[in-house]
Structure 1
């Protein structure tokens, strides 16, 4: 097998379940892949050398595709690396713009709202913070989120005005000019939600996540359990349309239960799928690899 593509992933995630499963499925389809830490790639821009790139100080041939697995951890430098590949004509699975669209949770909600998709009422806090204004337009309980984050980190519940003030005080001690958003709390979804995996605008897996304690968050990484969940018309429509609106090839869409229907909580460009494969038996890695093979083109395999 000739070297074919790169999975762009920080070296601390090289042993992650998802990384190993992707490698396994690439090998099954006779596609060789290399793990590359984006921070080892050097960007050198000129008008002549367009067939190679520098990695760890050595020139390397361009891969046939690059699959970034950096998600909310995509720094400015990593984004610049992805854009450099794009300018060199290398197919990217989830473009730099698509990753940008979802890294900023407020911006992604603006795009989803523009597309007429159901989301919780959302507000960006500005300084000085007017708590009365938040109470009038969002109310309490309220969900407080950092602009960027994943796996349930940076997500808090303020059950009343007092707790909200305490959260703000803690945030100010950490970073005086922090950026956070506040969302309405959807009571029907306490301790449970849906995770939907979308590949090439097709739902390939859906599970309900449920907290095992009294946590309002249901993330598997926080100890939640997963259960296969039947995809209905609304789940499919919300998941596929949100992926389209955000221009994502591959996405993880989190849906909240709301009065017999659903609202979009958030969308991820680098979804974990260990829980999805474990609890549903779906071959998510295989679906991803088959799509990449289709997107890049059989002539390059």
Structure 2
């Protein structure tokens, strides 16, 4: 029986000829039922009254410049829970798989697979009766050289003709950072990852400069996208401020990032603008512990480190005794903390609204993993699209405006007395929001830079 079947390893090269994709590196996964293809800019439309979908495929790993524009009839739409816990509604198409000297029709779901590395996953449904897998092996059908790939795809490479945009961050392999680079390249811009630790400044009243590893002077960027992790906020904002002084457009300013990272200051700004937040206390003396607990309605309550982010430094104290011990322990370390009422009826859920240039472009409901109280996909939580109310939209837009952030992740929680604002994040992650929505959020970020710079140049001409 095995003589009639193709023997493959854990990864191989195959083709999707009907989609004009002659060769693509595929991850062979018998644990997955349906095959999946990396696709972005997924847009449904009607052709002769039937549903079709238009989408772009980047067939090569870590390459956003090589783009195949595709159109296919929609076979189905299915809810799929990814390995990271995201619940997506994916379009399903039917196409032809070409592998070795054989070809046959298969079903493929369209999804953004950037976080997975491989641009395509081959599931067991497509392999049934035709393929045997040797999981210890790879490339049983042969390797493909870079020159062959270049020959196949050179006509599909987008040549940079637009802006020069720098992504100022720490980890080039992070999903969000890869997607922003990819989205900029899709739109014809020259994108460059600038590692924060490799940048250094020349302060000069007449000729300020930004230097990079090896002595290179960074003096030709049109725009900078700062994505600064909390542990290097001071240095990252100093670099962002220096780019601003050099006349470079920054998607979020250093001042807006700095104030959003100061949880106490940001909460004070938000309540001064009439935004609803959970009752919060802040104190600096162990003697005030009892009154501090009463102030926020007693236990259970949340204790937050002022410098924490992405759910780190956030602890639930379920009893008064636990709250006292926790608050006093933090204070004895000289650590600044906030104490906040626990919204029990939220049931481990919160809403992340992604705001770009004053508009909520998408919203997801995040649900905490079993045993957790924080809705965080990095801690095993799940995410799915949610429809927000006009009041929640108002809160999200006003919160981003109050923080003066052009791009913000605004976190909202639903309580018995209405929706409350939890936090405003100046470097919101894209994986949860893009995974749940299949929307090209990174592309919308790049588009906002294009619009802002176009407007800025119009004003300069006047």
Q: Are the counterparts in 2 of residues 71 and 103 from structure 1 also a CA contact under 8 Å?
A: no
Q: Deviations over 1:122-146 (max 9, x none)?
A: 1112123422111221121111001
Does 2:458 correspond to 1:297?
A: no
Larger helix percent: 1
**Equivalent residue for 1:96, pick from 247, 251, 254:** 254
**Equivalent residue for 1:265, pick from 422, 432, 448:** 422
Q: How many residue pairs were aligned?
A: 295
1:121 corresponds in structure 2 to: 279
Q: Deviations over 1:185-205 (max 9, x none)?
A: 111113111111000010111
2:357 corresponds in structure 1 to: 200
2:11 corresponds in structure 1 to: none
Cα distance, 1:214 vs structure 2: 2.5
Larger strand percent: 2
Cα distance, 1:169 vs structure 2: 5.1
3-state SS of paired residue (2:250):
coil
Alignment of 1:52-67 (within 5 A): 52-56=209-213, 57-67=215-225
**Equivalent residue for 1:183, pick from 340, 344, 351:** 340
2:167 corresponds in structure 1 to: 7
Q: Are the counterparts in 2 of residues 53 and 62 from structure 1 also a CA contact under 8 Å?
A: no
Does 2:299 correspond to 1:140?
A: yes
2:147 corresponds in structure 1 to: none
Cα RMSD (Å) of the superposition? 1.8
Cα distance, 1:299 vs structure 2: 9.1
Q: Distance in 2 between matches of 1:241 and 1:197?
A: 13
Q: Deviations over 1:211-241 (max 9, x none)?
A: 2302111111111111110122011100000
1:156 corresponds in structure 2 to: 315
1:244 corresponds in structure 2 to: 401
Cα distance, 1:82 vs structure 2: 1.1
Q: Distance in 1 between matches of 2:287 and 2:301?
A: 15
Consecutive unaligned residues in structure 1, runs of 5 or more: none
Distance 1:94 1:164, change over 3 A: same
Distance 1:200 1:71, change over 3 A: farther
Deviates more, 1:251-260 or 1:191-200: 251-260
Q: Are the counterparts in 2 of residues 93 and 292 from structure 1 also a CA contact under 8 Å?
A: yes
Q: Are the counterparts in 1 of residues 167 and 181 from structure 2 also a CA contact under 8 Å?
A: no
Q: Distance in 2 between matches of 1:69 and 1:49?
A: 26
1:79 corresponds in structure 2 to: 237
Q: Deviations over 1:41-87 (max 9, x none)?
A: 1111113324x521112223231111100153443222211111111
1:24 corresponds in structure 2 to: 182
3-state SS of paired residue (1:36):
strand
Q: Distance in 2 between matches of 1:240 and 1:298?
A: 21
Q: Distance in 1 between matches of 2:251 and 2:422?
A: 23
Of structures 1 and 2, the one with the larger relative CO (CA 8 A, separation 6+) is 1
Q: Are the counterparts in 1 of residues 237 and 254 from structure 2 also a CA contact under 8 Å?
A: yes
Consecutive unaligned residues in structure 2, runs of 5 or more: 1-159, 458-462
Cα distance, 1:249 vs structure 2: 0.3
Distance 1:146 1:24, change over 3 A: same
2:379 corresponds in structure 1 to: 222
1:254 corresponds in structure 2 to: 411
Cα distance, 1:280 vs structure 2: 1.8
Q: Are the counterparts in 1 of residues 366 and 376 from structure 2 also a CA contact under 8 Å?
A: yes
